């Protein structure tokens, strides 16, 4: 399995979203038995994209997929869609 199979790319658009992301990660890790995870800050190279990018990499691809699904649901709920 390669790293692309277990990495989740996140775009953080605001300071409020960064705070929500931090809280979400803490709660997710706690609910799932604190799996091994690495979170990388990645530079935003395109000038038309503002904000920050994070790459979240779990040791277990299943946990990575679960994280991506739950983060997507959290964002949808936050934006009321």
Expressed in angstroms, the distance from the first to the final Cα of the chain is 34
Phi then psi for residue 2, to 5 deg, are -100, 170
Phi then psi for residue 12, to 5 deg, are -100, 115
Where are the chain's structural domains?
3-78
CATH top-level class of 3-78 = alpha beta
The 10s digit of each residue's pLDDT in 15-71 is 888 899 999 999 999 999 998 999 988 777 666 667 788 999 998 989 999 999 999
| Residue 34 CA from chain centroid, whole number | 15
**Buried/exposed code over 47-70 (b: 16+ C-beta within 10 A; e: otherwise):** eeeeebebebebeeeebbebbbee
0.75 exceeded by pTM: yes
């Amino acid at each position: 399995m390669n790293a692309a199979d277990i990495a989740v790319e996140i775009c953080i658009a605001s300071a409020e979203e960064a705070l929500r992301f931090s809280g979400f990660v803490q709660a997710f890790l706690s609910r799932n038995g604190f799996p091994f995870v690495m979170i990388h800050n990645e530079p935003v190279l395109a000038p038309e994209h503002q904000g920050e990018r994070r790459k979240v990499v779990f040791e277990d691809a299943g946990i990575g997929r679960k994280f991506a699904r739950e983060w997507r649901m959290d964002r949808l709920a936050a934006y009321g869609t």
